[in-house]
Amino acid sequence: MTVAVVGLSHKTAPVAVRERLAFPESQLHAPLQQFQDEAIAELVILSTCNRVELYLETPDPQAAFASCVRFLAAYHHLAPETFASYLYHLQEAEAVRHLFRVAASLDSMVVGEPQILGQVKAAYLAAQAAGRTGTVLSQLFARALGVGKAVRSETGISDHPVSVSYAAVELARRIFANLAQRTVLVLGAGDMAALTVRHLRAQGVQQVFVTSRTPARAARLAQELDAKAIPLEAFPAHLPQTDIVISSTSAPQPLIDRAMVQEAMRLRRGEPMFFIDIAVPRDVDPAVNTLENVFLYDIDDLQGVVEANRRQRQQAAAAAEDIVWREVRQFQQWLAARDLAPTITALRQRAELIRRAELERILPRLGHLDERQRRLVEALSSAIVNKLLHTPTVNLKRAAGDPRVRDYVQLLTRLFDLDQ
């Protein structure tokens, strides 16, 4: 049996192809049940916005690959030639390493993103519920989840945000210990501002005000974000009650100057204010940053934070790769040991069958033997078999950690017809 993966990802296929092959996470039971093939002993389907992958245990990797192509084509009503060239097919240690890197977010579009580990777990649980996992894939995915957790805890790969919107939220968390009670004011209705507010919502922010030079856009964004729209001319009056200002208008001149913020800070009695100015040209006068307890980050500042964080993630990724390789070797050893036991048993059983057959053939030719003599002949034949098998058995067990051990097992199986 062989562990394999057949799939495509953002590295090999455009989104137009990936979306046509995707399986909704909530609807995995049907394809898992429908994909029945003698070349597929165990099956897990992992489908996210960036990848569609089928993890398999198979007695025939090449037949399994062909079966996967046929299944994907039939299930999604596609011609194989529209997607087959984008597929990768990995086996053995390469397949194991690939899954471990996926779970550790090392193969993600954004290295270190946290969502993939939950998606790997959900895919495994769906396959388990559909009765498609056995000993091998259960062990494989349990170890993959362990790798993902170890990489996060041992390397801190997810600790450094690498998107501008998320970096802004992380900076806000450093300024305000608890974001839940903070008020946010959004100037402009740009996509990045909306994304930043969504991240803030995820951190517990409850009260959000939105304003724009186009009232209709402000109203739409407010509805989308479950916020309250206010007229543009009214926003200065809201500043004293605002903790975080996100600005992304297309105004040609700054909308917020130092005097405006100074007055707001007087009314706030020095409570900190955080300005996230992602507009170009800038909406907030840089002089605002000279005020005490006022923190201003523009788009260049945020991109500088992101770039520094990206370098830190790259350093963490190097350490994560070491963890992945360590776990790949351990899984391969487990797999080899699992293959060794039945092979050694089958080898001894074959030897025992031969020994007994030869005894039954030769004993009648030896004439009358008393019970003691028969036991001696039996003991002699057993001793010869045991001594002949002792060295290969010991060496096989010692080779459990050798990457070639499965080749040894296959060779023994073929040499001694152990499948018969």
Q: What are the sequence ranges of the domains in the chain?
A: 2-158, 164-292, 335-415
pLDDT digits (tens, 9 = 90+) for 104-117: 989 987 788 778 99
For the record, the structure tokens of 251 come out as 């105004």
Q: Say how far residue 264 (Cα) sits from the centre of its chain.
A: 46
Q: Is the dihedral of CA 90, 96, 99, 104 positive or negative?
A: negative
Res 161: pLDDT = 62
With a CB cutoff of 8 Å and minimum separation 6, the contacts of 82 are: 17, 20
Q: What letter would DSSP give residue 48?
A: E
Res 77: pLDDT = 96
Q: What letter would DSSP give residue 363?
A: G
Res 21: pLDDT = 95
Whole-angstrom Cα distance, residue 393 to residue 197?
64
Whole-angstrom Cα distance, residue 285 to residue 282?
7
156: left (phi over 0), alpha (psi -120 to 50) or beta: left
Question: Do the domains 2-158 and 164-292 sit in the same CATH topology, yes or no?
Answer: no
Whole-angstrom Cα distance, residue 192 to residue 246?
10
Res 243: pLDDT = 95
pTM: 0.64
Res 171: pLDDT = 82
Whole-angstrom Cα distance, residue 250 to residue 187?
10
Mean pLDDT of the 66-76 span:
97
**Helix, strand, coil shares of the chain as percentages rounded to 5?**
60, 15, 25
CATH fold of the domain at 164-292: Rossmann fold (3.40.50)
For the record, the structure tokens of 366 come out as 């030896």
Whole-angstrom Cα distance, residue 16 to residue 388?
61
Q: 3-state DSSP call for residue 186? A: strand
pLDDT digits (tens, 9 = 90+) for 303-343: 787 777 778 778 888 889 999 999 998 898 888 777 777 88
pLDDT band at 160 (very low <50, low <70, confident <90, very high): low
User: 2-158 has which CATH code?
Assistant: 3.30.460.30
Whole-angstrom Cα distance, residue 276 to residue 297?
5
Whole-angstrom Cα distance, residue 267 to residue 148?
48
pLDDT over 70 percentage in the chain: 98
Computed over every residue of the chain, the mean pLDDT equals 89
Res 112: pLDDT = 81
Active site residues: 49
Cα angle 39, 69, 111 (rounded to 5 degrees) comes to 100
Find out whether 244 and 185 touch, Cβ atoms under 8 Å: yes
